[in-house]
Amino acid sequence: MERHRSASHLQFGAVTLIPEERLLLRDGQPVALTPKAFDLLVVLATNPGRLLTKEHLLDAVWPDTSVEESNLSYYVFAIRKALGEHADGDRYVETVPKQGYRFVAPVVQVEAGGRQLPEVFAPTTDTASERRAATSVRPERRAPTLLTLQAARVWWPWLGLGAVLTLGAVWFFGRDRPPRASAPSTLVQYLEPVTGRLAETGMFSVSPDGRHLVFAAEGADGVLRLWARTMSALEPVPLPGTEVFKIIPPVTWSPDSRFVAFDTGGVVKKVSLDGGTPQTVCDYASTAVGGSWNRDGDILLGNALGGLVRCSASGGPVTPITVPEDPEHERHIFPSFLSDGRRFIYLRISRRKPEVSGIYAGELGRASPPREDRLIATGFGATYVPAADSEPGAIVFARDGALFGQRFDERRLATIGDPIRLADNIGSYLDGAYFSVSAKTLIYRAPEPGYQLMWFDRQARELERLGKPARFSGLALSPDGTRALVSIPAPQGTANQDLWLFDFPRAPLPRRVSFGPALESWPVWQTNDRFVFGSGAGASGVYWQAVDGERQLLFRTGRAEIPTSMSPDGRLLLYSTISEKGTGADVWVRVGEGASAVARPLLEREHDQGQAQLSPDQGAIAYVSNESGPNEVFVTRFHVDPAAGTVSTSESIRISEGGGFSPRWRGDGRELFYLAPDGSVMAIEVGTTREFRPGTAKRLFTVPRVLPAWGVAANGTRFLFAVPVSPPPPFHVIHDWQALLSSRTEAR
């Protein structure tokens, strides 16, 4: 840490700000801030005590960009969180209603070498100081006209294949600030920061006319469904009947922007934005990774297990369109129709030969593409957009963390000129980048923040931080509490996710324990040295593995299998899967070992059941269901007859009220914990499982925005969470974005 002291810095309380190194330290530890939030903090901290108007701050931080004032409230919120400001503690930034903001903490300037300068910047509120604020430092920035959409969120429960999508916010028409002379004009709209959570996929879809946004979200009832937002509306509107079980890649829009098609997990449906019951489009055994809808009513779907397929928007069977050269390792996903509605581009991903992955062209009715040459080298899906003027259309794609647009000649199926960089710091999940585009509107967002593993006690006191932050998507604590497994996506947007082991008393950093081009996730401990996990993307199934690396396939059904709990002797394994009977997500149990093991449905009912946890004495199961509306925690007694090979459950008892998910048993089975929708840790005494008498749930403490996968020590006194290291990134919108292609091409 000594190198940080070589540059001149500002000190306020336990916080050190080093503008030259773009570094923020709190208690000597680096704190993550987005670039804009850092710039805003520099302006505020170098003008302590001075009222800085909103107009001044916008000009200082966004000198070449027309943005809305709502951006300030979001970034001030992010700064306060980063500095650790709270109601009964240190205060740093004061809001002056209808005017601006004032930095209220005393600031000490320390020159290079560590010598404190005699001047101490103490807060002052004299009007002369406020007038002098107009001459403060303006950070040098770049950018075309763009709009930042705020998306502050709370981490909501998930059910099924991973984290669920939530985006809850309010669209308003904003005041048009005069655009800079060098930037295209824009209609300014913004999204107020409210409660919400985006899922692991991070995907969202803007309509072809640019007027609507559709996303999958879990509302206050904890049920995952599709939501639609019209840009001019005050509130998002849920689409009835769109309740879903699994992570959803982007929905597919009809050309007239009236319908969306979506994957419910085995069935593709369409629903009107005007309401009404969703209609089945086709049965689809795979996962629809992206799609495109032409004017003839053909829906082209990506395929997580092979080549592109087509189905009719009016219903009917699925028809193969493209055939992978290497069916075991090649996938065709994220298709996008060209203007004629016959030809299309798509992402061809080869796990075995990544050097051939990229954007290719294809045509309906032809077994092979009309052109086999790769159009664009990238590992992410792309979108073709018709021209907004007399210029050729363009392909928008992501590569190396940036977003590009490239003109495209549809007649020759050839790119024109060089790619034009549209934006930097683009987030992604597997093979999908965080952007959605129409002819007029481009929306994108930055990567999700990393998570820090942290131990808490029952009074919410932080006990310990483990390792370094990373993009965890799963977490499982060993029975003795000395080890934890996490799943971490591989970099560079490949559909590859590996398991890493934290060995708390032995090593400060985790080590990788699974390898190969697959999605290895949902780890569940059997003993302190053995675990099981689910896998997808080429090596699907449930696997057993020892910590030292020995592995074997337990079973494979061809559907998604999500292990959730296992007995120490390995003879009972609970897992979730999507029912073939149309009942949604169900809980199954696998009884026995080896070839003699049998799998049976355990909780096969209407609505969704999942996240099942076997009690320590194997006499009860805690699980989550949305049968009463919101996700709630239930408990049922559980019995296995080894001789007959049968399993049975008793009547279920609901133990949560107002929503609950992610149940966890104490080691002796006498107490059950779960998470409430606001992130509160709830505890309930349950007595013995033979005479199940649940008490009243008590709120222990609240840890908002944590990963819903968590761990409880056997004695129930310590809790392991993955806590985000910074606020979620905002959405950015560029209106009339194709003007950037022309203006930057001319500039060359």
pLDDT band, residue 594 (cuts 50/70/90):
confident
Nearest to 405 by CA among 415, 395, 417, 393: 395
Comparing 232 with 42, which gets the higher pLDDT? 42
Digit-coded pLDDT (tens) for 444-458: 888 888 899 999 999
* Per-residue pLDDT at 690: 59
Is residue 61 domain-shared with residue 104, that is, in the same domain? yes
Give the CATH number for residue 391: 2.120.10.30
In DSSP terms, 414 is beta-bridged to 409
Is pLDDT above 80 for 77?
no
CA distance 583 to 575: 16
Tokens 């007029």 identify what position?
Answer: 440
Is pLDDT above 60 for 286?
yes
Is residue 399 domain-shared with residue 300, that is, in the same domain? yes
pLDDT band, residue 415 (cuts 50/70/90):
very high
Comparing 174 with 387, which gets the higher pLDDT? 387
Q: Structurally, how many domains does the chain consist of? A: 2
- End-of-domain residue from the set 85, 109, 135: 135
In DSSP terms, 638 is beta-bridged to 649
pLDDT band, residue 136 (cuts 50/70/90):
very low
- End-of-domain residue from the set 82, 114, 135: 135
Least confident of 127-131, 352-356, 495-499, 546-550: 127-131
For residue 48, being part of any structural domain is answered with yes
Is pLDDT above 60 for 473?
yes
For residue 736, being part of any structural domain is answered with yes
Average pLDDT for residues 392-408, to the nearest whole number? 93
Is residue 42 domain-shared with residue 171, that is, in the same domain? no
Is residue 213 domain-shared with residue 72, that is, in the same domain? no
* Per-residue pLDDT at 743: 61
Is residue 254 domain-shared with residue 398, that is, in the same domain? yes
* Per-residue pLDDT at 695: 79
* Per-residue pLDDT at 160: 33
Is residue 151 domain-shared with residue 125, that is, in the same domain? no
Is pLDDT above 60 for 289?
yes
pLDDT band, residue 3 (cuts 50/70/90):
very low
Question: In the chain, pLDDT over 70 holds for what percent of residues?
Answer: 79
Is residue 352 domain-shared with residue 244, that is, in the same domain? yes
CA distance 589 to 669: 20
The number of C-alpha atoms within 13 Å of 435 and in the hemisphere containing its C-beta is 30
Highest mean pLDDT pick, 115-119, 512-516, 518-522, 714-718: 714-718
Give the CATH number for residue 56: 1.10.10.10
DSSP state of 48: B
Find the farthest-apart pair of alpha carbons in the chain and give their distance in angstroms, rounded: 88
Is residue 242 domain-shared with residue 322, that is, in the same domain? yes
Digit-coded pLDDT (tens) for 655-690: 998 889 999 999 999 999 999 987 899 999 987 655
The reported pTM is 0.71
For residue 657, being part of any structural domain is answered with no
* Per-residue pLDDT at 396: 97
For residue 437, being part of any structural domain is answered with yes
Average pLDDT for residues 21-36, to the nearest whole number? 78
Is residue 130 domain-shared with residue 171, that is, in the same domain? no
* Per-residue pLDDT at 664: 97
- End-of-domain residue from the set 135, 164, 197: 135
Is pLDDT above 70 for 199?
no
Which tokens go with 369?
């593409």
Is pLDDT above 90 for 293?
yes
CB-CB contact of 488 with 472 (8 Å): yes
DSSP state of 449: P
pLDDT band, residue 111 (cuts 50/70/90):
low
CA distance 341 to 344: 7
In DSSP terms, 544 is beta-bridged to 532, 552
Specify the length of the chain in residues.
Answer: 748
Q: Would you list the DSSP string of 554-582? A: EE--SS--EEEEE-TTSSEEEEEEE-TTS
Is pLDDT above 70 for 461?
yes
Question: In the chain, pLDDT over 90 holds for what percent of residues?
Answer: 34
Comparing 177 with 49, which gets the higher pLDDT? 49
The number of C-alpha atoms within 13 Å of 510 and in the hemisphere containing its C-beta is 26
Own/partner long-range contacts of 509-516 (Cβ < 8 Å, ≥24 apart): 509/467, 509/468, 510/467, 510/486, 513/485, 513/545, 513/547, 513/549, 514/545, 514/551
pLDDT band, residue 747 (cuts 50/70/90):
low
Q: Which helix (H) or strand (E) holds 444?
A: strand 441-445
Digit-coded pLDDT (tens) for 720-744: 999 988 877 777 878 888 888 876 5
Which tokens go with 318?
């699925």
For residue 522, being part of any structural domain is answered with no
Average pLDDT for residues 396-422, to the nearest whole number? 93
Is residue 128 domain-shared with residue 88, that is, in the same domain? yes
Is pLDDT above 60 for 395?
yes
Comparing 432 with 286, which gets the higher pLDDT? 432
For residue 552, being part of any structural domain is answered with no
pLDDT band, residue 164 (cuts 50/70/90):
very low
Q: What is the mean pLDDT of the chain?
A: 79
Is residue 151 domain-shared with residue 131, that is, in the same domain? no
For residue 656, being part of any structural domain is answered with no
Is pLDDT above 50 for 134?
no
Average pLDDT for residues 528-544, to the nearest whole number? 83
pLDDT band, residue 127 (cuts 50/70/90):
very low
Is pLDDT above 50 for 213?
yes
Comparing 211 with 382, which gets the higher pLDDT? 382
Is pLDDT above 70 for 403?
yes
Average pLDDT for residues 708-718, to the nearest whole number? 94
Average pLDDT for residues 290-301, to the nearest whole number? 96
Average pLDDT for residues 166-192, to the nearest whole number? 34
* Per-residue pLDDT at 479: 96
Residue type, 675: L
Is pLDDT above 80 for 408?
yes
For residue 597, being part of any structural domain is answered with no
Domain of 64?
A: 2-135
Nearest to 423 by CA among 440, 438, 402, 443: 402
Is residue 155 domain-shared with residue 122, that is, in the same domain? no
Digit-coded pLDDT (tens) for 478-529: 999 999 999 988 765 566 788 999 998 887 788 999 887 678 889 999 999 9
pLDDT band, residue 150 (cuts 50/70/90):
very low
